[in-house]
Chain A
Amino acid sequence: MSSTKVVILVLVLIAVVYIVFVSRGALSGEKQGPVSKDEAMKIVKETPAWAKSLGGFFNSRRPKLVLERARYTTNSEETVKPDADNQFRNATFHLIQGTAHIKYVDSTEKAANLNKQEFDLLCLHNEDDTCSGSIVALKSGGKLTITCTSNPCRIDIE
């Protein structure tokens, strides 16, 4: 087979594969995911394994929210300092014992439903277990309140 024919064949193959890819996207008809708490949990549950492994790989490099302590056993209130370098800083709370309530109020203006972040930590050993939860601190920082709703309680920070 001449080189011209090989090139034509390759170009046709590329075109066919490309059309298949584009058609797949066009026919999926997906819309942007809603941003309610329940939908967010559903999306995390449905996240493919490759994305989770990617998260594990990048975990040590993510911008972390540094809190005063790594473990909380009593009610606590602390101010999260502003950080101009990081738009998003995560902190994940793991409930080890008892039950707790986490509330974070961010000072950033127009941050929609990220201004007030609030959730309960309780381990019920069922499908909707909320043994751990994360908050996101934005550039301007804010105020974090940890309330132990049972005694004793222990929360570890990742």
Chain B
Amino acid sequence: MDELRKPFFIAALALFLCVVLVEVGSAMWLDFGTAKTAQLASALNADTPGYGILYLSFLDSLVFYVVLLIGLALLIPERIQGRIQGCVTLVVTFFGCLGTIVAIFSALLVLIIMVSLLLAPIFGTIAYLAVYGSFDRSGAAVTLSLIMALKFAAAICLVLAQQRFLQNKGLVLLILTSFLGNLIISFLHNFVPIVLVSITDALGGIVVAIVAVIWAIFFMIFAIISIVKAIH
């Protein structure tokens, strides 16, 4: 009963990896605009949004990393893992944090442009509607549903692999935060008029990225503590 059921664990790991890949790849297949708006956006060299799902990957990469660390314990001896885990976590979370902060500012910049255009009638609003006024809400919903299903399957596999994972409050909270991120993006995509979805999508992306930064800082602090302990 106390043993880790490896097939379920590997399945959970693979599913979390799929979640991250789907989120990162979403920008490639989701069309955030009609052909007409895409043409205009390209003529103006303007960034069309689609931040919510993409930025979920910052949070889910952390989930994948934590599950991967648990998995590595199966392959690497505990003594060696104890020494390198702190250093690797520090490096990963530090650069992850930096990248996420840069991404937050990039989304913020586009958000400022979108909001200022929308609220500058007549031609600012026309420009906003022409470039950002449409959003592939159904495509985003399908992608979010796929991500949600993968996360559910991964969470169930993790519990089936070892029920004691439920006692790991940090892991449970991180996975719940990941589900919450999905809910936030889904809410912001579906509860506002279609012309405002580009704005709420960017807002959602920023919120999710901030949550990811908070988690990354949390892991960074624990990594530093672990390194100090290893040195002593």
Interface-facing stretch out of B56-64, B188-196, B223-231: B188-196
B138 CB to closest chain A CB (Å) equals 7
Question: Which of A39, A58, A109 is B116 in contact with, Cβ under 8 Å?
Answer: A58
Q: Once the chains bind, are A51 and B43 in contact (CB under 8 Å)?
A: no
CB-defined A-B contacts under 8 Å, sample of 21? A11-B155, A21-B183, A25-B189, A26-B190, A32-B34, A33-B133, A33-B194, A37-B122, A43-B125, A47-B119, A51-B118, A52-B119, A61-B112, A88-B124, A110-B40, A134-B123, A136-B117, A136-B120, A136-B127, A139-B44, A139-B45
Give the residues from 128 to 181 in chain B that come closer than 8 angstroms, CB to CB, to chain A.
Answer: 129-130, 133-134, 137-138, 141, 144-145, 148, 152, 155, 159, 163, 166-167, 172, 176, 179
Digit string of B189-207 for contact with A (CB within 8 Å is 1, else 0)?
1111111100100000000
Q: Is the CB of A59 within 8 A of B159?
A: no
Q: Confirm or deny: B103 has a beta carbon within 8 angstroms of a beta carbon on chain A.
A: no
A51 touches B123 (CB 8 A): no
Chain A residue nearest to B41 in the complex (CB): A87
A66 at the interface (CB under 8 A from B): no
Show the binding face of B for A, using Cβ within 8 Å: 34, 37, 39-40, 43-46, 111-113, 115-127, 129-130, 133-134, 137-138, 141, 144-145, 148, 152, 155, 159, 163, 166-167, 172, 176, 179, 182-183, 186-187, 189-196, 199
Bound Cα distance from A61 to B185, whole angstroms: 25
Task: Report if A17 contacts B (CB, 8 A).
Answer: yes
B121 and A40 form a contact (CB under 8 A): yes
Contact residues of A between 85 and 124, Cβ < 8 Å to B: 87-88, 90, 92, 104, 108-114, 117, 119
Interface residues of A (CB under 8 A from B): 3-4, 7, 10-11, 14-15, 17-18, 21-22, 24-26, 28, 30-35, 37, 39-41, 43-44, 46-48, 51-52, 54-55, 58-59, 61-63, 87-88, 90, 92, 104, 108-114, 117, 119, 133-136, 138-139
Q: Which residues of A contact B199 (CB under 8 A)?
A: 51, 54
| Nearest B residue to A119, CB-CB | B122
Contact A7-B159, Cβ < 8 Å, known A25-B137, A35-B126, A117-B123: yes
Contacting residues, chain A, for B118 (C-beta < 8 A): 43-44, 47, 51, 55
Do A44 and B44 form a contact, CB below 8 Å, given A28-B194, A90-B124?
no
Within 8 Å by CB of B111, from A25, A58, A108, lies: A58
Q: Which 4 A-B pairs have the closest CB atoms?
A: A25-B190, A62-B116, A134-B120, A32-B134
B166 neighbours in A (Cβ, 8 Å): 3-4, 7
Sample of 12 further A-B pairs with CB below 8 A, known A22-B141, A111-B44: A10-B176, A22-B190, A30-B193, A32-B37, A35-B133, A40-B125, A44-B125, A46-B193, A51-B119, A55-B119, A87-B46, A113-B130
Which residues of A sit under 8 angstroms from B126, Cβ to Cβ?
35, 37, 40, 113-114, 136
